[in-house]
Amino acid sequence: MIGGVPMPDNGDDALGPVRQEEFALVPVKQELAGQAAEKNRKSKVRSRRAAGQLEALEEEKQKLAGAGGI
């Protein structure tokens, strides 16, 4: 019974066919979420690495400017 309305007994389990399909997709959704999380982590690592390289270039620029090179 959902919201006071009795559900027809069509031989499916209590969840019904749509809910069964949703539960069948859980492992797929978990795998996709894991892949997305890994991609996000790698992106963050690349961003940090690029930021570090930019910082190193700025430091080099400051050194050269101080030495009269630029």
Place 44 in a pLDDT band, splitting at 50, 70 and 90.
very high
Over range 50-62, report the average pLDDT.
94
**Residue 21 confidence (pLDDT):** 79
Q: How many angstroms separate the first and last alpha carbons of the chain?
A: 79
**Residue 11 confidence (pLDDT):** 55
Q: What is the mean pLDDT of the chain?
A: 82
Contact predicate 20/13, CB 8 Å: yes
**Residue 20 confidence (pLDDT):** 76
What gap in Å lies between CA 26 and CA 36, rounded to an integer?
A: 15
What gap in Å lies between CA 44 and CA 21, rounded to an integer?
A: 34
